[in-house]
Structures are given as C-alpha cells and as structure tokens.
Amino acid sequence: MIPATVACALACIALVVGEFRNHDRLRSIAKPIASAAFIVVGAVGAMRGELDERSLAILAGLVLGAIGDVALLSRHGFLAGLGAFLLGHLAYAVAVGTVISPRAWLGDAGIYATAPIAVGVIALAWLWPKLGKLRVPVIAYIAVILAMVVAAIAQLHAATVELERRELFAVGAILFFASDLAVARDKFVAKEVLNRAWGLPVYYTAQLLIAWSI
C-alpha cells in the first residue's frame, strides 16, 4: 500500500507540473497513473483485510473516481466525468449504509452536518447564474456528494468499524468535497491553473484516505 501511495503522490506532482506547463501529454500520462495507484491502495487493503460489503463498495467508488478522472482529460468529457463521480459518491454512501442505516445519518452527524450542507447551498447559489443547461446535473451531483459527506460524518459513530478507518473515510470525504469546489470554480467561474494546482492534490489526498480506510 505504501509504494502505491507514493506512486500516487509522485504522479499527482507530475500532473500539477503538467497543468502549470499546459502539457497535455504529461497530464494524459500522470493522471491515469495517479488514479490507478489509489485503486491499488484500496485493492491491497481489501485483500489484507476482510473483503466485506463496505470494502467492495469503497473499491467500486475508487474505480468510478478513476473513470471520472480519465473522462475529464477530454475537453468534452465533463458530463461523463460528473456522472462517474456521482456514481462514485453513491458507492461511498452505500459503503456507509452497510454499517449504519441511512435513516440515522442526519441524526448521528448532528450539528456537524450543517457545515457541508451550508457550503453546498452557498456554492450552488454562487454557481447558479453560470450553470445554464447543466443546472439539473449539478444539483443532482451536489445533493449526492452532500449525502456522502453527511454519511461519512455519521459513520464516525459506527462502532463496528475501527476508529482509524472511520476517521480516514470522514476526512477523505470532506477533502473530496473541498476539491470539487476547485473543479466548479475552474469549470464555471474562472479557468485558472491555480484551481487545479490546489484542487488536484486535495482530491488525490482524499481518494488515498478513502482507499486507506478499507
């Protein structure tokens, strides 16, 4: 798991360099390597531990995330990438649902659920005038990722999962949400390399933490 984590980090650094240099070939090589690496981390973790429903759902989410990453390499792949990530968040939510009922998520997350929900509503209001025909897909995506983040926070109360694994998953989910703000700003507000310079490392850190939570 450690070699794959290091490979992901190095590939992410190369990807950010590619963004600064506007080097399509470097991006097209580094991004799939970084994404494949976090899948390897999750797969190795699953093989070393108990391959239960939670682990399988997280693995599915990691694979869908990698598919979304590759889709976003294309200038016309935004909707495909959005769909893949939406399904990935659903898979992560399903993973939590195997250990804690969705009916308990809001109650268990408590006041800590208000922060991501508030940020999501503010982000949607901020983006709304710029979304155009993408309003429905973006609303659906925000709703699903917020459900996933709330689920991840609620999972902190799931005593059937080791505390460290719960914490890794929760931090990963929150960082994933944060990285999507960079994607949204880059897509709808201002296409700047700085969005990717911080958003990509945060995203890959998030996926690695979620992978390690297996």
pLDDT at 48: 87
Confidence band of 158 (pLDDT split at 50, 70, 90): confident
Residue with tokens 């809001």: 106
Q: Is the pLDDT of residue 160 over 90?
A: no
pLDDT digits over 54-69, tens only?
Answer: 999 999 999 999 999 9
Specify burial of residue 16 (Cβ count, 10 A radius: 0-12, 13-18, 19+): buried
Taking CA atoms, 70 is separated from 22, 55, 214, in Å, by: 17, 23, 23
pLDDT at 108: 83
pLDDT digits over 106-118, tens only?
Answer: 888 889 999 999 9
Q: Where are the domains of the chain?
A: 2-212
Average pLDDT (6-32) is: 95
Q: Is the pLDDT of residue 49 over 80?
A: no
- What is the average pLDDT value for the chain, to the nearest integer? 94
